[in-house]
Amino acid sequence: MTISKNLEALKTSLPEAVTLVAVSKTKSNEAIMEAYASGQRIFGENKVQEMVEKYETLPKDIEWHMIGHLQRNKVKYMASFVHLIHGVDTEKLLAEINKQAAKHDRRIPCLLQVHIAEESTKFGFAESELSELITRIDEFPNVEIKGLMGMASFTENFNQIQQEFRGLKKRFDQLFKNTEAAVLSMGMSGDYPIAIAEGSTLIRVGSKIFGARNY
């Protein structure tokens, strides 16, 4: 019952315009079904194989979001059903998604990941690469770029997280002001209130719903 309670509490605190992705990586089908029973239909995973297994065994009205760093050779396994790919961080990955989507005669919705954190270990395009790629986005007709995704630094420093999200929102406004239903994916369990205050339209929350992950 904890999961549905956590979920209810979280949902009532969210503005209506903010979409919640329940991050279910490492969590069991039982845990996911508890969230499903209280109405959640959008789930996020960061491993393709795990997502495919869950997709095959769980109800078909679930929207599966790939939120993690993605290897090109794995795209084909989820190309038929993935609802949104958040972490598109290289042009080569974008090209592969385009290719696999074409095989299924679909356009796969994607977000471009922008590097906003100070840690170099985090993924994403640099500002300059991003602007250049956007000018050539027609080269990828089977990909639908819906918006941007970013992860703030892992820090207790509120101001720093705020500034990182604020910068991303600014880029988002510049690049996607004419895109219908554009998506700005920012905010996780530790920082989603800041992300929402800075204009996030979609948050990715795991441990706050499902409890800590044991790897």
Ligand X SMILES: *Cc1c(COP(=O)(O)O)cnc(C)c1O
Of residues 48 through 67, those in contact with ligand X by CB under 6 A are 67
For residue 55 the two structure tokens come to 């997709």
The residue (of 147 and 206) whose beta carbon lies closer to ligand X is: 206
Residue number with the smallest Cβ distance to ligand X: 206
Which is nearer to ligand X, 167 or 190 (by Cβ)?
190
Cα atoms found within 13 Å of the Cα of residue 66, Cβ hemisphere only: 33
Residues 164-203 that bind ligand X (CB under 6 A): 188-190
Residue 103 beta carbon to ligand X: minimum distance, rounded to whole angstroms: 26
Report d(CA 98, CA 39) in Å as an integer. Answer: 32
Site for ligand X in 95-154 (CB under 6 A): none
Give the residue from 63, 167, 81, 158 showing the smallest Cα distance to 124. Answer: 167
Residue 27: both structure tokens together: 């969590």
Q: How far apart are CA 205 and CA 190, in angstroms?
A: 9
- Bridge partners of 18? none
Which runs of E-coded beta strand occur in 61-201? 63-66, 84-88, 108-114, 143-150, 183-185
150: which strand partners?
A: 114
CB of 136 to ligand X, least distance (A): 26
SS3 42: strand
Q: Which of 10, 52, 68, 125 binds ligand X (CB under 6 A)?
A: 68
Choose between 72 and 208: whose C-beta lies nearer to ligand X.
208
DSSP strand E in 60-159: where? 63-66, 84-88, 108-114, 143-150
Specify the residue, 142 or 162, whose C-beta has the smaller distance to ligand X.
Answer: 162
Tell me the angle at which helices 29-37 and 2-13 cross, rounded to the nearest 10 degrees.
Answer: 50
207 binds ligand X (CB under 6 A): yes
Q: Rounded to the nearest whole angstrom, what is the least distance from the CB of residue 68 to ligand X in the complex? A: 5
Nearer to ligand X, 26 or 163 (CB): 26
199 in Cβ contact with 184 (< 8 Å): yes
3, 10, 23, 114: which one binds ligand X (CB under 6 A): 23
Query: Closer to ligand X at the Cβ: 108 or 186?
Result: 186
**Site size for ligand X, by CB under 6 A?**
13
Smallest distance, Å, CB 143 to ligand X? 19
Q: What 8-state DSSP symbol labels residue 146?
A: E
Stretch that binds ligand X, among 3-11, 47-55, 94-102, 204-212 (CB under 6 A): 204-212
Q: Which residues bind ligand X (CB under 6 A)?
A: 23, 25, 46, 67-68, 188-190, 204-208
